């Protein structure tokens, strides 16, 4: 894959963020419906059908594609909610749907053979064999890779599959294999796989203990902060815990993925699309991150090094990591 | 439903010493009232070479004892070596295999197989598709509530298996948290996961037991225990129940579950006996009641 064809896939949790992403130079935006069919099912986010209609029109007028994430696992006995989500995306001329569930892939491929299908990161397809399975069974055209692979593993994979590969390049970082993590539901009863929500705000509490603030999720302490220190959001896998007699960020620090420096390597590895996480983010954040990555990709296309950019202020905890792309992360 | 309910022993998820691992299975073969026994490394491919030399002996003894032997595949396949191992396992004749990753299911090319709990089967569409691929038995993910279990069992597409005992496998990662807890890298992990036979306890900052780490896997601190729900699950058409090996006396644990399934002992009495068998364990059953997984809910299981 050459830099010419690389697509920047950008988050749009609201109509305002969609416009910000399109205006900042997104090649694609990805969105979800305002319900449990998508994995960012948070209050105040996502699109009604009329909003999606308008959003698609706005994007298409400017040459930007719209991908609809329908990437939770349908509830037994109620597939019609998820089926309608796929049907409506096809009817509204979405450019692709992003799916995770095998049954839903089967439905979409049979009902809408013309509709382009992408495999969500939630499907956790981490090997060439798994990706080929989805391609052969359902005609999946692009897979979003789980955040578990190193760049050499991604390169080997790209060479070994007949479809496009999309990787996360910026934003929130799952440290567990996506679609295979029940930590949130263990603590809160809300599951990314079925409810579309991880560590939901409804189960968050900040308890003032005088000399410190304790952040809790589902009644479990996730972190503590000194007075005056900004209290971070208690995402379960970014908390401090005691293990082996030691208090630490056992799973991961409160950090964000940033692979700006790795973009040329990822392009050389054969990656087709770069995905920016953050449908829960506001339009200002989306606009500035998309703009920075647009500049970076354009610079690489011109054969130049990506310009340095100042995103430190907007990343989680101000810290950044290249995550699993570098072997030492494991 | 009319059939006698079956007990499955899931693969040992922890990194036990090879001799201990072998002796555990030999005793299961000789003494346990268990119908099917799973073997194979599901969590970390680095451990597999230690168990490979002991496999033939263990398989032979289990088979001779009349147990169905099921070979389980790795849950998270990433490296070239792991991909090769999955293909090799898929080519093994004469045994039922368990797919814990879809790449493995595809490699089986229509041969009958078991879908492991690390594959996301939440609904009838996915169940039907996998049954069409050759899945004859499906161990459902831990999160699914009783209503989903009943609905899927009623489809009659594949035998439905439900996890009923042991620490819950909650998450998989590329990163090894056991190594990280010792400031080691995964490549140079020194196999420190072997130091914790039931996983490494993970407490909150205020000292509350919360999770357990088993190498790259994160598990619950509490032991899943559905002794009290077995009868309702049976009535809902579930015919098979999975016990996860822990370091307590699994022969005795299996016998307890067997006696409850056979109606020989009251679940509340069985719960008292189970507490004696695993004196340090705290129990949970929240998921099946549609609640937080860590909760212990004292109510009748609704499967409608």
**Residue B172 included in any domain:** no
Q: What is the mean pLDDT of chain B?
A: 95
CB B94 within 8 A of CB A166: no
Q: What is the pLDDT of residue A315?
A: 58
Q: How far is CA B178 from CA A50, A173, A323, B49, in A?
A: 49, 20, 18, 19
Give the domain CATH number at B279: 3.20.20.70
By C-alpha distance, which of B2, B8, B3 is closest to B243?
Answer: B8
pLDDT above 90: residue B105: no
pLDDT tens for each residue of B242-254: 999 999 999 999 9
pLDDT above 70: residue A316: no
Residue of chain A whose Cα is closest to the Cα of B193? A244
Q: How far is CA A166 from CA A28, A116, A123, A169, in A?
A: 12, 14, 13, 9
Lowest mean pLDDT among A23-37, A299-313, B124-138: A299-313
By C-alpha distance, which of A260, A254, A263 is closest to A173?
Answer: A254
- For B70-79, what is the mean pLDDT? 94
Instruction: For residue B230, report the phi and psi dihedrals to the nearest 5 degrees.
Output: -60, -45
Q: How far is CA A185 from CA A194, B116, B154, B295, in A?
A: 10, 20, 25, 11
- For B149-175, what is the mean pLDDT? 97
- For A67-96, what is the mean pLDDT? 97
| CB contact B143 to A (< 8 Å) | yes
**Residue B198 included in any domain:** no
| CB contact A243 to B (< 8 Å) | yes
**Residue B155 included in any domain:** yes
Virtual CA dihedral for A247, A251, A255, A260, nearest 10 degrees?
A: 140
- For B167-185, what is the mean pLDDT? 96
- For B33-41, what is the mean pLDDT? 97
By C-alpha distance, which of A262, A110, A108 is closest to A120?
Answer: A108
Q: What is the pLDDT of residue B153?
A: 98
Q: What is the pLDDT of residue B294?
A: 98
Instruction: For residue B20, report the phi and psi dihedrals to the nearest 5 degrees.
Output: -65, -40
By C-alpha distance, which of B132, B188, B137, B127 is closest to B162?
Answer: B137
Q: Computed over its alpha carbons, how large is the radius of gyration of chain B?
A: 18
Give the domain extent around B257. 6-167+223-289
For chain A, give every residue range classified as CATH 3.20.20.60: 3-173+255-329
- Helix A128-138 to helix B80-90 angle (10° resolution) is 60
Q: What is the mean pLDDT of chain A?
A: 93
The larger pLDDT score, comparing residue B221 to residue B304, is at B221
Residue of chain A whose Cα is closest to the Cα of B212? A243
Q: What is the pLDDT of residue A187?
A: 98
- For residue A150, the distance in angstroms to the closest alpha carbon of chain B comes to 9
pLDDT above 70: residue A223: yes
CB B211 within 8 A of CB B199: no
Q: Is A149 in contact with B78 (Cβ distance < 8 A)?
A: yes
Nearest to B102 among A73, A125, A248 (CB): A125
Q: How far is CA B238 from CA A49, B1, B267, in A?
A: 40, 7, 17
pLDDT tens for each residue of B258-269: 999 999 999 999
Query: Which chain B residues are within 8 Å of A120, Cβ to Cβ?
Result: none
**pLDDT band with cut points at 50, 70 and 90 for residue B125:** very high
Lowest mean pLDDT among A70-74, A311-315, B103-107, B172-176: A311-315
Q: In what order do the strands lie in the sheet with A204-208?
A: A204-208, A212-217, A220-226
pLDDT above 60: residue B36: yes
The larger pLDDT score, comparing residue B253 to residue A319, is at B253
**Residue B204 included in any domain:** no
Residue A159 parent element (H or E): helix A151-160
Residue of chain A whose Cα is closest to the Cα of B127? A103
Q: Checking DSSP bridges between strand A204-208 and strand A212-217, what pairing results, if any?
A: antiparallel
- Helix B267-277 to helix B250-261 angle (10° resolution) is 180
**Residue B242 included in any domain:** yes
**pLDDT band with cut points at 50, 70 and 90 for residue A313:** low
Counting the structural domains of chain B, the total is 1
Q: What is the pLDDT of residue A324?
A: 86
Query: Which chain B residues are within 8 Å of A76, Cβ to Cβ?
Result: 122-124, 144, 147-148, 151-152
Percentage above 70 pLDDT, chain A: 97
Residue A105 parent element (H or E): helix A102-111
| CB contact A81 to B (< 8 Å) | no
**Residue B213 included in any domain:** no
Gap between the Cα atoms of A47 and A83, Å rounded: 17
**Residue B111 included in any domain:** yes
Q: What is the pLDDT of residue A327?
A: 83
Instruction: For residue A165, report the phi and psi dihedrals to the nearest 5 degrees.
Output: -115, 135
**pLDDT band with cut points at 50, 70 and 90 for residue A35:** very high
pLDDT tens for each residue of A185-199: 999 999 999 999 899
B280 Cβ neighbours under 8 A, 6+ residues apart: none
Lowest mean pLDDT among A1-10, A42-51, A98-107: A1-10
pLDDT above 80: residue A141: yes
Superfamily of domain A3-173+255-329: Phosphoenolpyruvate-binding domains (3.20.20.60)
- For B231-241, what is the mean pLDDT? 97
Nearest to A330 among B124, B142, B175 (CB): B175
> What does the buried/exposed string (b/e) look like for A155-186 if buried means 16 or more CB atoms within 10 Å of the residue's CB?
bbbbeebebbbbbbbbbbbbbbbbbbbbbbbb
The larger pLDDT score, comparing residue B122 to residue A174, is at B122
Mutate to test the interface with A, among B75, B103, B151 (most CBs of A within 10 A): B103
Q: Is A188 in contact with B292 (Cβ distance < 8 A)?
A: yes
- For residue A184, the distance in angstroms to the closest alpha carbon of chain B comes to 9
- For residue B194, the distance in angstroms to the closest alpha carbon of chain A comes to 13
- For B210-230, what is the mean pLDDT? 98
Nearest to B128 among A74, A103, A175 (CB): A103
Longest C-alpha distance within chain B, in Å?
A: 54
**Residue B181 included in any domain:** no
Q: How far is CA B60 from CA B19, B25, B66, B92, B231, in A?
A: 16, 11, 10, 15, 33
CB B12 within 8 A of CB B245: yes
Nearest to A126 among B78, B142, B186 (CB): B78
Q: Is B211 in contact with A183 (Cβ distance < 8 A)?
A: yes
Q: What is the pLDDT of residue B304?
A: 66
- For residue A50, the distance in angstroms to the closest alpha carbon of chain B comes to 29
Instruction: For residue B112, report the phi and psi dihedrals to the nearest 5 degrees.
Output: -60, 140
Q: What is the pLDDT of residue A24?
A: 97
């Amino acid at each position: 894959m050459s830099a010419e064809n690389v697509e920047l896939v950008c988050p749009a949790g609201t109509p305002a963020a969609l416009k910000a992403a399109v205006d900042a130079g997104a090649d694609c935006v990805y969105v979800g419906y305002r319900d449990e069919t998508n994995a960012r099912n948070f209050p105040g986010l996502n699109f009604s059908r009329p909003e999606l209609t308008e959003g698609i029109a706005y994007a298409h007028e400017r040459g930007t594609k719209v991908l609809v994430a329908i990437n939770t696992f349908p509830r037994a006995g109620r597939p019609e909610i998820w089926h309608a989500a796929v049907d409506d995306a096809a009817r509204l001329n979405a450019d692709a749907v992003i799916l995770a569930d095998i049954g839903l892939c089967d439905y979409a491929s049979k009902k809408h053979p013309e509709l382009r299908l992408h495999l969500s990161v939630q499907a956790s397809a981490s090997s060439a064999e798994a990706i080929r399975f989805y391609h052969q069974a359902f005609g999946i055209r692009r897979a979003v890779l789980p955040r578990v692979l190193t760049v050499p593993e991604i390169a080997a994979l790209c060479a070994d599959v007949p479809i496009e590969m999309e990787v996360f390049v910026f934003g929130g970082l799952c440290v567990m294999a996506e679609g295979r993590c029940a930590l949130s539901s263990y603590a809160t009863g809300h599951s990314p796989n079925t409810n579309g929500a991880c560590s939901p705000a409804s189960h968050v509490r900040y308890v003032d203990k005088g000399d410190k603030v304790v952040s809790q999720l589902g009644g479990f302490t996730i972190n503590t902060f000194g007075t005056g220190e900004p209290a971070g959001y208690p995402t379960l896998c970014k908390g401090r815990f005691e293990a082996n007699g030691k208090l630490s960020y056992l799973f991961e620090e409160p950090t964000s993925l940033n692979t700006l420096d790795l973009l040329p390597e990822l392009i050389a590895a054969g990656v087709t699309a770069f995905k920016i996480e953050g449908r829960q983010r506001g339009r200002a954040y989306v606009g500035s991150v998309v703009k920075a990555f647009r500049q970076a990709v354009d610079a690489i296309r011109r054969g130049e090094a990506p310009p340095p950019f100042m995103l430190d202020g907007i990343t989680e905890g101000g810290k950044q990591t290249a995550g699993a792309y570098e072997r030492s992360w494991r | 439903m009319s059939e006698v309910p079956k007990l499955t022993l899931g693969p040992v998820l922890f990194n036990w010493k090879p001799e201990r691992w072998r002796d555990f299975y030999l005793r299961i073969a000789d003494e346990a009232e268990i119908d099917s026994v799973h073997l194979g490394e599901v969590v970390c491919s680095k451990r597999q070479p230690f168990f490979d030399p002991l496999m033939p002996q263990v398989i032979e003894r289990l088979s001779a004892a009349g147990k169905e032997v099921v070979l389980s595949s790795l849950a998270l396949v990433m490296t070239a070596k792991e991909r090769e191992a999955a293909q090799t396992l898929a080519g093994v004749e004469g045994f039922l295999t368990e797919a814990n990753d879809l790449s493995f299911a595809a490699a089986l090319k229509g041969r009958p197989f078991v879908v492991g709990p690390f594959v996301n089967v939440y609904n009838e569409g996915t169940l039907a598709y996998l049954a069409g691929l050759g899945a004859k038995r499906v161990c459902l993910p831990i999160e699914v509530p009783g209503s989903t279990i009943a609905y899927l069992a009623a489809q009659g597409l594949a035998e439905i298996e439900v996890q009923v005992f042991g620490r819950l496998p909650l998450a998989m990662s590329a990163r090894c948290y056991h190594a990280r807890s010792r400031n080691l890298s995964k490549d140079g992990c020194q196999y420190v996961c072997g130091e914790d036979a039931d996983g490494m306890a993970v407490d909150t900052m205020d000292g509350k037991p919360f999770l357990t780490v088993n190498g790259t896997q994160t598990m619950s601190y509490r032991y899943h225990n559905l002794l009290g729900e077995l009868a309702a699950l049976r009535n809902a058409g579930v015919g098979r129940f999975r016990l996860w090996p822990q370091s307590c006396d699994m022969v005795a644990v299996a016998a307890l579950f067997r006696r409850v399934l056979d109606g020989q002992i009251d679940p509340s009495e069985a719960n008292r006996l189970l507490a004696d068998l695993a004196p340090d364990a705290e129990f949970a059953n929240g998921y099946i009641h549609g609640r937080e997984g860590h909760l212990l809910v004292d109510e009748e299981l609704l499967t409608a």
